[in-house]
């Protein structure tokens, strides 16, 4: 499939156990607008939001996923090609935090470091029932190279910061990838050129190399 | 759709002027997190881009009244339901539509809102909004018909790249006569690159008409999608490969959409059949059984079911994708209707925790054929999915549903895991109440494996649990009966469960397969099942 994703389009996948508040979280973030279209909606499975950070305007496409255990195996269908993942757990439920750890393992194994991870501990408004300590979650997030935020979809706390951090990192990562690719294109193929075809220049060498691969 | 809603604010004249000519105003708006109103480019013609105009469009919320805003030069505006209405300090009263909103961040990463509005709050021109919107509506490319309209309206002068591409498409189908499962990785990009090439050639050869269709832009995406869909529609091929070259009038001529779909159906007929069997098994399940919120059982999902019923008959992948989107909308409409009727709590929101189960439920009820082939088609054989995240999302839902049903089918299909007549796994058959089996305590609990929620819900297994209480010793033959019988006498049972409505059909599929099993295979299967040993846990085979 031709990869013609717009350079400003970013895909975020929401993962986490069922009923931890993924839907409420994303609805809080996306529906907090003046637009009449958004406010009446009840649908929260696919949402988009346009943001501008610095000079970068981005379209965030947020894909919600079914969190029930029976659908776990379907995860790759949704996180394929994602630029970022928001992993949500319920701070009053240790099981949901364990589930997040499983997702992190799976994402790192299947997608690698390419995907930006952000862990959100939701329902901090129910602080009396808290079962997952903030320090423990932060420590874990740091150990796997993920951001960690505490959120409350009910109170609208921490949501903006969560998505902002995710978006900033995704932009940064894509820019790094782009510059790495362009550097590779400009200089990385020189040795191949020498071996493959003495007469060709850098660009064509890369082209001939890729042709050879396709055959 | 090309519309003002797709406008890039970075090149909007008002935004550019604000940032470059009045950076102090822009910085203040950012620092104070004001509401920045940017009239769409089409409406800003003739608008004096001076400081007064800019100040008029930078709004600060009133500390006293919700929804009321005051501009930097003291005028008041009310914001309500996606509209801005001028209140005081303006020459005339205007109601201006918010076209879209962006969330911008200042240097300290504090957010402030920027809204693109259909008309300036003062001055400028009144865009012919309705006419423009009418025209935009025609510019949608969500279905094949819309793609045709869009492409033909461009009045392309040189369409020779299209003609050449038809030959290439025929060559493609001639080369790839069989789609081998698992070896399609290099096949699908070939079609996509072909369409990319045609689109680029058309743009080059019709430069006068397509000068603003630069690659990667919104217009290019629409054009590229239309080229793909229309080209596939216009390319005629023989239905059967050996009949290449038959006349177009022949009934055996199909277009490339149909041809592609036929090829995929051939490749994935086994998966399609398994899904159909799974659907038969799951037909009587409710939305709750699929994992949706039980309150949603009070919704009427006839709408989405109806849409899915003839889904496989649509030849064009884009039409299929569009239908999937309609199905999602119809699911939401069903829930909204139930909310309005008071059957479902008002605060109900449909995230994927509910949407996917509801979608699978609707799919099972509609029972369209060739679900797996369709999922493959949408996921791998269209390029527009990768250009449109929403289409891609709906295609992913179909894929997820197909995989879920396939998994369900796998669990009920394994013949050796069940005793032939009852569909009960050996361990469970041995633990059934009323069955006196040597060496096995009658109170043994079912193995955890079968109640593991990580597996798709297993109809056969759940049914077994359901019927435990109703089963009698005289009920169909068990594994014990089979073991007692000598090899010659042993016949694979032909009876199915009759204890619950629908179960006869449900197990018919299993029964048929098992009837075909030879005795030797059956014995081998039983051996390989790692049956409990005689050491107190089970029966020696």
Domain ranges of chain B: 9-117, 144-234, 269-411
- Report CA-CA distances (Å) from A28 to A25, A93, A186, B448: 5, 21, 44, 39
* Nearest CA distance, A132 vs chain B (angstrom): 23
Q: Does residue B515 surpass a pLDDT of 80?
A: no
Q: Does residue A144 surpass a pLDDT of 70?
A: yes
Which of B9-18, B118-127, B158-167 shows the lowest mean pLDDT across its residues?
B118-127
A197 within domain boundaries? no
> Which sign, positive or negative, has the C-alpha torsion B186, B191, B197, B200?
negative
Q: Does residue B62 surpass a pLDDT of 50?
A: yes
pLDDT category of residue B240 using cuts at 50, 70 and 90: confident
* Candidate from B83, B349, B386 with C-beta closest to A1: B386
A209 within domain boundaries? no
Secondary structure in 3-state letters for A47-112? EEEEEEECCEEEEEEEEECCCCHHHHHHHHHHHCCCCEEEEEEECCCHHHHHHHHHHHHHHHHHCH
For residues B12-25, b (16+ Cβ closer than 10 Å) or e, as one string?
Answer: bebbebbeeebeeb
**CATH code, domain with A79:** 3.40.50.300
A1 vs B97: which has the higher pLDDT: B97
Which of A71-75, A87-91, B247-251, B446-450 shows the lowest mean pLDDT across its residues?
B446-450
A191 within domain boundaries? no
* Nearest CA distance, A200 vs chain B (angstrom): 25
Which pair of structure tokens corresponds to residue B224? 């590229």
pLDDT tens digits along A62-97: 999 999 999 999 999 999 989 999 999 999 999 999
A187 within domain boundaries? no
A128 within domain boundaries? yes
Which of B157-161, B286-290, B456-460, B475-479 shows the lowest mean pLDDT across its residues?
B475-479
A-contacting residues in B 517-536 (Cβ below 8 Å): none
Determine the residue of chain B that is closest to A165 in CA distance: B109
Q: Could you give the 3-state DSSP secondary structure of residue B191? A: helix
Query: What is the average pLDDT across A103-111?
Result: 94
Determine the residue of chain A that is closest to B331 in CA distance: A43
Residues of chain A contacting residue B396, judged by C-beta atoms under 8 Å apart: 63, 77-78
d(CA A6, CA A187): 26
Closest to A14 in 3D by CA, of A47, A43, A41: A47
Residues of chain B contacting residue A19, judged by C-beta atoms under 8 Å apart: 353
Q: Could you give the 3-state DSSP secondary structure of residue B125? A: coil
Cβ contact B89:B83 at 8 Å: no
Which of B200-209, B235-244, B345-354, B450-459 shows the lowest mean pLDDT across its residues?
B450-459
Residues of chain A contacting residue B79, judged by C-beta atoms under 8 Å apart: 34
Averaged confidence pLDDT in chain B: 75
A-contacting residues in B 101-160 (Cβ below 8 Å): 101-105, 109, 111, 113-115
Query: What is the average pLDDT across B463-471?
Result: 40
pLDDT of B381? 82
Which residue range is the domain that position A163 belongs to?
Answer: 9-179
B440 vs A184: which has the higher pLDDT: A184
- Report CA-CA distances (Å) from B331 to A62, A109, B312: 19, 35, 19
Which of B95-99, B368-372, B502-506 shows the lowest mean pLDDT across its residues?
B502-506
B177 vs A59: which has the higher pLDDT: A59
Which pair of structure tokens corresponds to residue A156? 């609208």
A-contacting residues in B 334-363 (Cβ below 8 Å): 335-336, 339, 348-353, 355-357
- pTM of the predicted model, to two decimals? 0.75
Residues of chain A contacting residue B101, judged by C-beta atoms under 8 Å apart: 33-35, 50
Count structural domains, chain A.
1
| Strand (E) or helix (H) holding B129 | helix B129-138
pLDDT tens digits along A28-37: 898 766 654 4
A contact test, residue of B339, B351, B388 with most A CBs within 10 A = B351
A171 within domain boundaries? yes
pLDDT of B73? 92
Query: What is the average pLDDT across A173-202?
Result: 64
CB contact under 8 A, B10 and A55: yes
Q: Does residue B426 surpass a pLDDT of 80?
A: no
CB contact under 8 A, B454 and A70: yes
A159 within domain boundaries? yes
**What is B269-411's CATH superfamily?**
VPS9 domain (1.20.1050.80)
Q: Between chain A and chain B, how many beta carbons pairs sit less than 8 Å apart?
A: 179
A53 within domain boundaries? yes
Q: Does residue B177 surpass a pLDDT of 50?
A: yes
CB contact under 8 A, B98 and A160: no
Which of B169-183, B252-266, B366-380, B415-429 shows the lowest mean pLDDT across its residues?
B415-429
Residue B518: other Cβ atoms inside 10 A: 9
Secondary structure in 3-state letters for B266-333? HHCHHHHHHHHHHHHHHCCCCCCCCCCCHHHHHCCCHHHHHHHHCHHHCCCHHHHHHHHHHHHHHHHH
């Amino acid at each position: 499939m031709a990869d013609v994703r717009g350079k400003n389009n970013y895909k975020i996948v929401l993962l986490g156990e069922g009923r931890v508040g993924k839907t409420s979280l994303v609805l809080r973030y996306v529906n907090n607008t003046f637009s009449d279209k958004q406010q009446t909606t009840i649908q929260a499975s696919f949402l988009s939001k346009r943001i501008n950070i610095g000079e970068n305007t981005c379209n965030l496409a947020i894909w919600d996923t079914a969190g029930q255990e029976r659908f776990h195996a379907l995860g790759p269908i949704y996180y394929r090609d994602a630029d970022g993942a928001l992993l949500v757990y319920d701070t009053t439920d240790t099981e949901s935090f364990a589930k997040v750890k499983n997702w992190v393992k799976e994402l790192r194994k299947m997608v690698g470091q390419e995907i930006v991870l952000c862990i959100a501990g939701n329902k901090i408004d129910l602080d009396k029932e808290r079962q997952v300590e903030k320090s423990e979650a932060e420590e874990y997030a740091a150990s796997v190279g993920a951001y960690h935020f505490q959120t409350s979809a009910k109170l609208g706390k921490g949501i903006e910061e969560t998505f902002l951090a995710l978006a900033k990192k995704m932009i940064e990562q894509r820019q790094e990838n782009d510059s790495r690719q362009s550097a590779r294109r400009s200089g990385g193929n020189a040795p191949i050129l020498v071996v493959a075809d003495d007469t060709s220049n850098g660009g064509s060498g890369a082209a001939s190399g890729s042709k050879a691969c396709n055959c | 759709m090309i519309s003002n809603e797709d406008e890039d604010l970075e090149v909007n004249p008002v935004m550019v002027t604000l940032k470059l000519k009045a950076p102090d105003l822009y910085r203040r708006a950012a620092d104070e997190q004001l509401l920045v109103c940017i009239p769409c480019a089409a409406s800003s013609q003739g608008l004096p881009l001076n400081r007064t105009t800019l100040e008029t469009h930078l709004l600060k919320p009133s500390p006293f009244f919700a929804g009321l805003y005051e501009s930097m030069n003291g005028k008041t505006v009310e914001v309500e339901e996606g509209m801005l209405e001028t209140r005081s300090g303006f020459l005339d009263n205007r109601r201006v539509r918010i076209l879209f909103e962006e969330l911008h961040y200042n240097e300290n990463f504090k957010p402030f809102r920027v809204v693109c509005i259909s008309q300036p709050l003062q001055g400028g021109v009144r865009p012919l909004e309705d006419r423009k919107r009418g025209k935009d509506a025609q510019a949608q490319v969500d279905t094949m018909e819309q793609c045709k309209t869009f492409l033909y309206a461009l009045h392309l002068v040189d369409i020779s790249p299209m003609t050449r591409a038809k030959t290439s498409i025929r060559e493609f189908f001639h080369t790839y006569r069989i789609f081998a499962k698992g070896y399609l990785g290099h096949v699908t990009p070939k079609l996509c690159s072909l369409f990319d090439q045609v689109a680029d050639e058309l743009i080059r050869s019709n430069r006068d008409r397509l000068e603003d269709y630069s690659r990667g832009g919104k217009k290019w995406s629409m054009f590229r999608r239309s080229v793909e869909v229309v080209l596939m529609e216009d390319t005629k091929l023989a239905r059967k490969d050996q009949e290449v070259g038959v006349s177009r009038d022949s009934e055996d001529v199909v277009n490339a959409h149909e041809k592609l779909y036929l090829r995929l159906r051939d490749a994935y007929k086994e998966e399609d059949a398994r899904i159909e069997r799974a659907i038969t098994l799951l037909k009587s399940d409710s939305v709750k059984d699929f994992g949706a919120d039980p309150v949603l059982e009070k919704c009427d999902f006839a709408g989405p079911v109806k849409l899915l019923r003839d889904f496989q008959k649509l030849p064009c992948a884009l039409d299929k994708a569009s239908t999937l989107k309609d199905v999602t909308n119809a699911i939401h409409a069903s829930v909204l209707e139930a909310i309005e009727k008071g059957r479902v709590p008002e605060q109900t929101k449909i995230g994927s925790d509910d949407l996917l189960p509801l979608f699978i439920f609707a799919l099972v009820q509609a029972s369209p054929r060739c679900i797996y082939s369709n999922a493959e088609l949408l996921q791998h054989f269209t390029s527009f999915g990768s250009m449109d995240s929403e289409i891609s999302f709906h295609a992913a839902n179909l894929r997820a549903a197909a995989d879920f049903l396939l998994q369900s089918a796998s669990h009920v299909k394994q013949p050796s895991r069940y005793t032939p007549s009852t569909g009960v796994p050996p361990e469970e058959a041995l633990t059934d109440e009323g069955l006196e089996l040597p060496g096995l305590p009658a109170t043994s609990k079912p193995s955890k494996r079968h109640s593991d929620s990580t597996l798709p819900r297993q109809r056969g297994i759940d049914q077994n649990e359901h019927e435990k209480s109703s089963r009698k010793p005289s009920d169909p033959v068990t594994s014990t009966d089979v073991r007692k019988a000598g090899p010659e006498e042993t016949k694979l049972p032909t009876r199915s469960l009759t204890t619950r409505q629908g179960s006869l059909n449900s197990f018919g599929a299993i029964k048929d397969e098992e009837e075909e099993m030879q005795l030797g295979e059956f014995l081998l299967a039983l051996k390989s099942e790692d049956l409990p040993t005689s050491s107190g846990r089970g029966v020696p085979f």
